[in-house]
Amino acid sequence: MQASLAKERQRNGRIKLLALLALFVIPVIAAKIILYMNWYEGGATNKGTS
């Protein structure tokens, strides 16, 4: 009983760690792909007409 409880906690901890890692890694990878494929066009700036 104790061993299965420990394994369940370890599994839950691993899932939480992977979810947290994915939360930060996926946007970085998506931004890299968007920039690499030239899907992003920079907008106008607020520097006026000078």
How far does CA 35 lie from the centroid of its chain? 16
More confident: 42 or 1: 42
Give Cα separations from 39 to 14, 24, 43, 44 (angstroms).
35, 21, 13, 16
Is this structure's pTM higher than 0.85?
Answer: no
Q: For position 15, what pLDDT does the model report?
A: 96
Counting every residue, how long is the chain?
A: 50
Domain layout of the chain by residue ranges: 1-39
- Tokens 């061993």 correspond to 3
Q: For position 47, what pLDDT does the model report?
A: 74
